[in-house]
Structure 1
Amino acid sequence: MTPDTTQPDTTQSEPVTAETEKLREVIKRARVVLFDFDGPICRLFAGHSAEDVAKDLVEWLEAQGLRGLLTEEERGHPDPHVVLRVVNRRHPSSDLVVELEELLTQHELKAVSSAWPTAFADPLIRTWTAVGVRLAVATNNSPRVVARYLENRGLTECFAPNVYGRTQNLDHLKPHPHCLNRSLRALGAAPSAALMIGDTPSDFLAAQHAGVPFLGYARNGHKERLLRDAGAEDVVGSLEPVLRVLRGQA
């Protein structure tokens, strides 16, 4: 018997419709939007290896005669922020931490020239600005790095002066909500009127601590699993549906 193909397949369209409606509600509530930087706005180390940066921080420590400061596992960690956090935990507020943080900042600044813009991020940022929503960056990267990238992309005016990044007080790195709280105070916004867009569990936890609704951006399945395991409910694999909803196209 030939199957009847005249009836529309609603089993595929209904979940998408519900997801779009939920995304529409999330976006409609937001009067201010706080972006994480590396991930939702760009891939900072697309042309450089973050693992090589972490290795360089470790080698710098060893050159100072501080090889024993890190465990073997910590010396091989691919995330430079992990190395920075470990050193800060063992030598808080020291000159050593200040120098190591500056070394990381210099690596980040070099990476800006080859950073890849996240697909649909630029038009999304410009569209949100055009409809009167105020934007800020709340990141664990150096604010100097964010400022340079935004200038290169012609996006400075969409955020200025609301860029809040890593300070020398590394206890304030996300998941601490410090940079989110600074953003909210500067924008004069209640947490419930804001939306945080981030791509890591630390972004989600910082938003939770600050009382800010969260939208996860996951460019692959691994990122999505990490976000959902942390408790994030609203996660998109692309910023395109966010842009389409904002433009009234979905």
Structure 2
Amino acid sequence: MASDTENETAVLRELITRAQFVLWDFDGPICRLFAGHSAERVSEGLVEWLEGRGLHGLLTDAERESLDPHVVLRVVDRRRPDSDLVTELEERLTEEELHAASSAMPTPWADPVIRTWIALGSRLAITTNNSPRVVGKYLESRGLTSCFAPHVYGRTRDLQLLKPHPHCLNRALRAMGAAPTAALMIGDTPSDFLAAREAGVPFLGYARNERKEKLLRGAGATHVVGSLEAVLRTLRRQA
């Protein structure tokens, strides 16, 4: 009888060998965007900016205390849709993300995984809720631009289309002429998994700690790795 480890290895091998197109989330699987520029401080800064404009009552106490700047942005978009306020807030977040990209920490093994997948002939795209400008800045700093260009699909002005909506995944699939079943998404949040499920794309979760893994599995993800080294080993066996 095969062990759990052997079964997991076989599943990972099947996911990877079938993937002609790989859709990556950005912040998490590729890098820790806010490793040197706290997301919590960014969120606090957005809240302070709103309150400085006399909009203290726009957010609940729980929303004001959110550690995720995307939560703040989405809440404001729901309550003031299609407003200049949302446009300004999104631009402020983009500037903070651009600043964070300068000190982002590469996810262990991500760079060699990306380069090995390209060498094996797969095509890669990034599907993210971050600004595509931020992704471009980071990829250039790592010499990875050519591995993804032109397939970077990030946050647009229509914030209703952020993941878990599958919009950015569907854009990538259409642009690359990819069938969903021939693709694989790598993500680290429940919204990544839900977007992949809605798009019909197989999903591989990346969880750098137990909390991340618990959230992914709680959302329904069944295939999760704690390190991309396992992905790299599997890819190298294909070479």
Of 31, 53, 56, 1:42 maps to 31
Deviation at 1:63, TM superposition (A): 1.0
Q: Kindly provide the CA deviation profile for residues 58-99 of structure 1, in whole angstroms up to 9, marking residues without a partner as x.
A: 001011111111111111111100000000000111110000
Q: Give the match's secondary structure for 1:247.
A: helix
Q: How far off its partner does 1:15 sit?
A: 2.2
What is the aligned length?
239
Match of 1:84 among 40, 65, 73: 73
Local SS of the residue matching 1:78: coil
Query: Partner of 1:142 in structure 2?
Result: 131
What SS does the aligned partner of 2:237 have? coil
Aligned equivalent of 1:233:
222
Residue correspondence of structure 1 range 1-250 to structure 2 within 5 A = 14-248=3-237
* Amino acid paired to 2:53: Q
Partner Cα distance (2:160, 2:4) in 1 = 41
- Partner letter of residue 232 of structure 1? A
d(CA) in 1 for partners of 2:130, 2:112: 22
After TM superposition, the score normalised by the length of structure 1 is: 0.94
Task: Tell which structure's C-alpha radius of gyration is larger.
Answer: 1
Q: How many Å apart are 1:14 and its aligned residue? A: 2.5
Alpha-carbon distance between aligned partners in 1 of 2:98 and 2:57, rounded to the nearest angstrom: 29
Distance 1:22 1:122 in 2: 23
CA distance in 2, matches of 1:84, 1:206: 19
Task: Name the Cα RMSD after superposition.
Answer: 1.3
Structure 2 unmatched ranges of 5 or more = none
Cα shift readout 1:81-118 (whole Å, capped 9, x = no counterpart): 00000000001111100000000000000001110000
Q: Offset at 1:48?
A: 1.2
- Offset, 1:149: 0.2
Counterpart code for 2:228: L
Q: For structure 1, which runs of at least 5 residues remain unmatched after alignment?
A: 1-10
1:43 maps to a residue whose letter is R
State the AA in 2 paired with 1:182: R
Amino acid at match of 1:244: R
Cα shift readout 1:9-56 (whole Å, capped 9, x = no counterpart): xx9x82222211110001011110000000000000000110100000
Partner-residue secondary structure (3-state), 1:34:
strand
Code of the residue aligned with 1:74 in structure 2: it is E
Q: Which runs of 4+ in 1 moved over 4 A?
A: none
Query: Counterpart of 1:4?
Result: none
- Partner SS, residue 74 of structure 2: helix
The share of aligned pairs that are identical, in percent, is: 72
Secondary structure (helix, strand or coil) at the match of 2:22 reads strand
